[in-house]
Structure 1
Amino acid sequence: MQEITVVGGGIAGLAAAIEAAEGGARVTLHEAHGEPGGRGRAIGGPYTAHEGPHVFYADGPHWTWLKERGLTGRLALPPLRAGLRAGFRHRGRFTRIPPAGFLRMAADRNRTAPVDEDFRGWAGRHYGEQAAEAAANAVGVVTYVADTGRLSAAYVWNLFGRIFGPRVPAVRWAVGGWQAVVDRMVRHARDAGVRIETGSRVTEPPEAPVIVATELSSARALLGDPSLEWESGYCVLLDIAVRPDRRDSFVMFDLDEGGFHESYSMQDPTVSPAGETLFQLDMPVREGEGHAEAHARLRRLAETALPGWEERAAWRRTGTARGRTGALDLPGTTWRDRPAIVRGDGVFLAGDMVAAPGMRGEISLNSGVAAARAALHSLGLSGDPGPASRFGARPLRR
């Protein structure tokens, strides 16, 4: 059997290892930490809390790939009780109805946004400055950046349509969270013959073909390639478990400051102890702002979403995510301009900031599968390199 080495056992590395093993290669996966999963892992104990809001969108190839292998597992349903609070924070208050311009944007899916212009300027001309700013902040849930309006109009418009478009939402919650999906991926990989080496930190590039499925900064150091750069987000996080109150919001998009609030346990009671409700909130950090200031703004968002939460809190955890929250495309760039999957000389790249479509973890899954298919093709185990051939072998500059 021909061999493929995978460096990194996060979502991208596990997807690459599974795809490569199913394609007929002998696969060894090296994971530096004590267990695979990367940022898809949850903390141990009674609270299943992740680094960032982890949901799936069932409108892309990543979902099809997971579902075909039975990796999605049982899905949770959002609560449908009367009086459930779900909506927006606008001008400091909770509202179920966003501004009129925002609604016009959500209904207008025939318009095409330009790649070369920033979202704020383009959307402001068509829908008004206030609606443009509210929409940019609403998309902060998937960008983790305080100024989403400065990003490519095409990039933000696509995200906005996926989240708020006039069709049935594609959001899916897996029972047990992403940790349960990670656990199934690990079992599936081992069943497919993948040898998973944990506590195995790779400091020199292994013999080709090799798939480097680490954070971009780690890949840059391992491969000695300074071109492996891309922009990502920066936010603070707050996980809270509280005694329930009828005023608690299930989900809240922050149209004022780009934050986000969502329950983990209203739809999936397995992730928190009985009698407690688990939430996660995030708030993008502004230019020149310190963590204390960002956390203060995050606590104010929490008070809007969960009135009196500090007196009811049974558990809380704070965190920071910087440069590891998925790719951001600036005006003049698309996902095709990000670091290419096919690096040459039998080296392939996967992760959440490389040249593959999707958002956040979807990029990891799609790039992992594409990298594996390209690696299999290099060994003559596949006649078609699959998505890698469409994603491109080198960045396409505009």
Structure 2
Amino acid sequence: MPHSSKNPAPTPRTVTIIGGGLAGLTAAITAAEAGARVTVHEAHHTLGGRARTAEGPYLTNEGPHALYNGGPHWAWLKQRDLIGPLASLPPIEGSRLRLHHQGSLRRTPPLAMLKLLRRKPEQAPVELDFMTWATGEVGQEGARAAAHYIAVATFHHDPGSLSARFVQERLRRATKLPPEAHYPRGGWASVIDRMATLAWNMGVRVETLSRIDSLDTLGSLAAQGPVVVATSLPAARHLLQDDTLQWESARTTLIDLALNSRKGDLFVLSDLDRTGWIERFTTQDRSLAPHGQELIQAQIPIAPDESKADGVARADHLLDLGYPGWRDRLVWRRDAVSNGRTGAVDLPGTTWRDRPAIDRGNGVYLAGDQVAAPGLLSEVSFNSALEAVTLALTHTRLDLKSA
């Protein structure tokens, strides 16, 4: 029945999203599904944030990007048909995966590391560092190898110094068989494009080249309805002028290479002597580079006192070991450093609950990969976006009832 004049239809609430990356698009879709009027402000000319895929002949992202199917993020995307075609991972026995351990390339990890994989995350204490706990469980060799291996999911130069619970949870998920990690064909841009299309079809207003960097502007937006700040934590700290928005992250050197194809190249090379990971992404997705070329990406975490050159030198050394003669086949290269843009890492005695709270008060909420939400890598952005919108709309309904 149509609403009478005595019971008018409720006016859709206005929700503003600052940032059009994975967290921002997740928040926008969630709010639109709840019936809100949504506007997304994105400072760049394209959506995607750190999930953007580079344009041109080499489809690269900022470091290794994968979707893990072990969490709610996967189910949410799948229910909305947002994942799209996935690249097929090669069979383990034929994938040419190698581990750099004790100066040599090996096919299998040390036995002590395999024993550690049997420990459940709940067995690892929050208050102890991973290296201390794991050494007590399986000895120093296995502990060190495991700590270095999991740098692929932490981007940290010393994962052994982090909370044992934090590291063990990621170690278990990153080594599951069959693997949880999946790769969208054509890079992450395919997922972002699908999310953006769904948002537009739901009536979300997207304003690109729209940078919100003034507290006064933010206040004006918040006066119209809840605001979700879905930016990096440093950007949110600057926008909100809130110095408490701090959390540990990592620095890592990112190297992208295009090599002329040669039969027998490794799929993955993981450094167990130090932290480092090299992956040939065209093994599973030929669309990432021109015909006859291979796209290889290296991720080498670096300490605060190390430089980009240090990370590049370590990457080149691993490439020499795993891809002999690679310099003669090199057709393109790009080196960069990602500083504090690789997600949160939890020190001993802390968990995700200790990170900056999502609800900042006065109708402002945070979403991103360094805030108080659970999950692995991009799952933190997703979970925080859902929580931010849920809190925003719940508080809005409560405000309307009390008015």
* TM-score computed with the length of structure 2 as normaliser: 0.91
Provide Cα deviations, 1:175-229, integer angstroms capped at 9, x if missing partner.
1111111111111111111100000011231224100000101101111111100
Letter in 2 for 1:112: Q
1:114-156 alpha-carbon deviations (Å, 9 max, x no partner) = 0000000010111101111110000001111111100000000
Q: CA deviation at 1:335?
A: 0.5
Give SS of 2:188's match. Answer: helix
CA change 1:382–1:107 in 2 (3 A) is: farther
Deviation of 1:359 after TM superposition, in Å, equals: 2.1
Which 5+ residue runs of structure 2 have no aligned equivalent?
1-11
Displacement of 1:264:
1.6
Tell me how far apart the structure 2 counterparts of residues 111 and 334 of structure 1 sit (CA, whole Å).
Answer: 13
Question: More deviation in 348-357 or 167-176?
Answer: 167-176
How far the C-alpha of 1:82 sits from its partner, in A, is 7.2
Which residue of 2 is the match for residue 121 of structure 1?
132
Cα gap change, 1:323 to 1:218, in 2 (>3 Å)? same
The amino acid across from 1:4 in the alignment is V
Q: What count of residue pairs does the alignment treat as equivalent?
A: 382
Relative to the length of structure 1, the TM-score reads 0.93
The AA in structure 2 aligned to 1:25 is A
Change (3 A) 1:242 1:187: same
**Which residue matches 2:115?**
104
Note closer, same or farther for the CA distance 1:111–1:339 as it changes in structure 2 (3 Å cut). Answer: closer
2:181 corresponds in structure 1 to 171
1:187 to 190, 197, 201: 197
- Give the alignment partner of residue 308 of structure 1, picking from 291, 310, 325: 325
Find the aligned partners of 1:363 and 1:261 in 2 and give their Cα distance.
Answer: 24
Partner of 1:390: none
Query: Hey, what's the Cα distance between the residues in 2 that align with 1:327 and 1:246?
Result: 38
Q: 1:23, 1:381 within 8 Å by CA — same for their partners in 2?
A: no
CA distances 1:278-301 after superposition (whole Å, capped 9, x unpaired): 111110112422221221011111
Shift of 1:364: 0.9
Q: Secondary structure at the match of 1:144?
A: coil
Task: Report the equivalent of 1:358.
Answer: 375
Question: In the alignment, is residue 138 of structure 1 matched against residue 155 of structure 2?
Answer: no
1:348 alignment partner, SS class: strand
Relative distance call for 1:343 and 1:314 in structure 2 (3 A) is same
Question: Given that residues 308 and 336 in structure 2 are in contact (C-alpha distance below 8 angstroms), is that contact kept between their aligned partners in structure 1?
Answer: no
Question: Does the CA contact (< 8 Å) of 2:153 and 2:174 recur in 1?
Answer: no
Given that residues 247 and 307 in structure 1 are in contact (C-alpha distance below 8 angstroms), is that contact kept between their aligned partners in structure 2? Answer: no
Pairs within 5 Å for 1:1-398: 1-80=12-91, 83-109=94-120, 112-165=123-176, 167-204=177-214, 205=218, 206-207=221-222, 208-380=225-397
The alpha-carbon deviation at position 83 of structure 1 amounts to 4.8
Q: Distance in 1 between matches of 2:303 and 2:356?
A: 26
Structure 1 pair 3–111 and aligned structure 2 pair: CA distance change class (3 A)? closer
> After TM superposition, where is structure 1 displaced by more than 4 Å over at least 4 residues in a row?
none
Q: Confirm or deny: 8 A CA contact 2:251 2:340 kept in the other structure.
A: yes
User: For residues 382 and 124 of structure 1, what CA distance do their matches in structure 2 show?
Assistant: 53
Give the root-mean-square deviation of aligned CA atoms: 1.7
| Deviation per residue, 1:260-309 (Å, 9 max, x gap) | 11122111111111111111111011242222122101111122232211
Residue 6 of structure 2 corresponds to none
Q: Is the 8 A contact 1:146 1:285 kept in 2?
A: yes
Worse-matched range after superposition: 352-361 or 193-202:
352-361
Question: Do the aligned residues in 2 keep the contact of 1:120 with 1:149 (CA within 8 Å)?
Answer: yes
Measure the CA separation in 2 of the matches of 1:324 and 1:81. 31
Could you tell me which amino acid in structure 2 is paired with residue 177 of structure 1?
A: G
What does the per-residue CA deviation read over 1:70-97, in whole Å, with 9 as the maximum and x for residues that have no partner? 1100111023497531131112322111
Identity of aligned residues (%): 46
- Are the equivalent residues in 2 in contact too, given 1:261–1:305 (CA < 8 A)? no
